[in-house]
A = this chain, B = another copy of it.
Amino acid sequence: MNINGQRLLSNVARFAEIGKVGEIGVERIALSEEDKEARDLLKTLMLDLGLEVHIDQLGNMIGIRKGRKDLPAVAFGSHLDTVYAGGRYDGALGVIAGLELIQTLNDQGVETDHPLAIINFTNEEGVRFAPDMMGSHVYSGQAKLDDILVSKAYDNPNETVGSQLKAIGYDGALKPGSIALESFFELHIEQGPVLENEAIDIGVVEMVQGIHWTRYTIEGEANHAGTTPNQYRKDTGYASAEIIKFIGDYSRKEENPVLTTVGSIRYEPNTINIIPREVSFTVDLRSTDKEALNKGQIEIDTFINKAVNESDLAVKSEVMVRFEPVHFPKEMPDLVENTAAGLELRSKRMPSGAGHDAQMMNHCCPSTMIFVPSVNGISHNVEEYSKDQDVINGANVLLNAVLNRAKQVS
């Protein structure tokens, strides 16, 4: 069975009008007016498809298509929120392909034993409110609703998740997680360059990398750049350069299967002729291998402590995120792989480098992800783009994998 590609693409374009940036970009921050508008459109389309629409207490939206039997629902979806100046596919594709899946079944009069559930999770990106993957965190029981509702906006402490859910009218009554799920599929763009570079149609996601985020703050002494000989310097800029180079080198050694990124830095006072008194930087460390991730963290911490001690500096570190790698149950990627093969699509088993709702949902039901190629691997950027045929292929794999799991009966 195949979805209607043109209808899918036209719905992607329709949602992309909400919060449009430039030609193809989208900015739809969670719990904003644009988020509300996209949610309203989703609700209308769900109702048009004859779905039963539920809004839970965290604003997660669930559209149910009844099954023939009283069984847990086979679920699929993703999120409609974006990062600042983001793209039209990240998140939205998984939700919109879910609508197309159900429209296709409706058109063809197909029924399933299991109910089907489209889910739009609240605040996957975590741009204004921590944590990210918020809706699936709570849905899957990995975080408590009450703790999350009081999370404050980074840019405005007067706004909380709870107050903003109310403001946009998505503070529902349903307890998160109360709809039982049989399995969860998330169709998503890869957000990396691997599929495109290797000319693969479908990424079969076996696991999600573990993620460690840490902020280090090195403390030394501000001094005049012209009058302070080297032996009297406590130069945190020089020390941090040595550390950041070590962290980059570490990941580039074959024996260390980890990815490292220093994406943000701040010098104090950040003035051309003053030796930096303080440098703060973040380390993003990822691996599919739990042991390698922990070993990498220890070796980086050890190097930093040694470098700082040798230079008579001090360091503080703040643990921001520690997620272990998540392995999807083998049956789920196997099903995606077989489904792709049945559709004569080239697939590749791969990990997800980014965090996704599916990694949270795997705590409450067998889950997996279906990746489609990202042009130039670009994402979290208004230039994010995936080719039409790739998007259509992904939706077809989703449709057929879901039908297999939900037991098509007519």
Please report the total number of A residues contacting B with Cβ < 8 Å.
58
Q: How far is the CB of A227 from chain B (nearest CB, A)?
A: 3
Q: Does A265 lie within 8 Å of B272, measured CB to CB?
A: no
For A199-212 the 0/1 string (1 means CB < 8 A from B) is 00000000001010
Q: Which residues of B contact A380 (CB under 8 A)?
A: 222, 224, 274
Complex alpha-carbon distance, A306 and B197, angstroms: 27
Contact partner of A377 (CB less than 8 A), chosen from B232, B240, B263, B378, is: B232
In the bound complex, how far is the Cα of B264 from the Cα of A272, in angstroms?
Answer: 5
Taking CB atoms and an 8 Å cut-off, the chain A residues in 266-300 that contact chain B are 267, 270-276, 282, 284, 286
Bound complex: CA A222 to CA B377 (Å): 10
Option from B226, B229, B235, B353 in Cβ contact (under 8 Å) with A194: B229
A252 — nearest CB in chain B belongs to which residue?
Answer: B230
Known: A242-B245, A245-B242, A248-B238. A225 touches B259 (CB 8 A): yes
The answer, yes or no, to whether A241 is at the interface (CB within 8 Å) is yes
Q: Nearest residue in B to A90 (C-beta to C-beta)?
A: B224
Chain A contacts to B: CB under 8 angstroms: 190-194, 197, 209, 211, 213, 222-230, 232, 235, 237-238, 240-245, 248, 251-252, 259, 261-265, 267, 270-276, 282, 284, 286, 320, 352-355, 377-381
Knowing A235-B261, A237-B265, A267-B264 are in contact, say whether A190-B227 is a contact too (CB < 8 A): yes
Residue ID in chain B nearest A355 by CB atoms: B226
In the bound complex, what is the Cα–Cα distance between A252 and B238 (angstroms)? Answer: 11
| 9 interchain residue pairs of minimum CB distance | A192-B227, A226-B353, A241-B244, A227-B353, A225-B261, A238-B248, A226-B354, A241-B245, A272-B282
Distance between A287 CB and nearest chain B CB, rounded to angstroms: 10
